[in-house]
Amino acid sequence: MKESGENYLESIYVLSQRQKEVRATDICAYFGYSRPTVSVALKHFKEQGYVEVDENNHITLTDAGLAIAEKIYERHVVITRMLVHLGVSEEVAAADACKIEHDLSDETFRCMKAHFQGIAQGEETH
Rg from Cα positions in the chain: 16
Q: Provide the residue ranges of all domains of the chain, joining segments of one domain with +.
A: 3-67, 74-124
Strands 59-61 and 51-53: antiparallel
Between 1.10.1840.10, 1.10.10.10, 3.90.1310.10, 1.10.150.120, what CATH number should domain 3-67 receive?
Answer: 1.10.10.10
pLDDT along the chain (126 residues), means of 10: 86 94 94 92 95 94 96 94 94 93 91 82 57
pTM over 0.85: no
Consecutive H or E run containing 63: helix 63-85
CATH of the domain spanning 74-124: 1.10.60
Q: Which residues, listed in sequence order, are joined to residue 29 by a DSSP beta bridge?
A: none
Equal fold, 3-67 vs 74-124: no
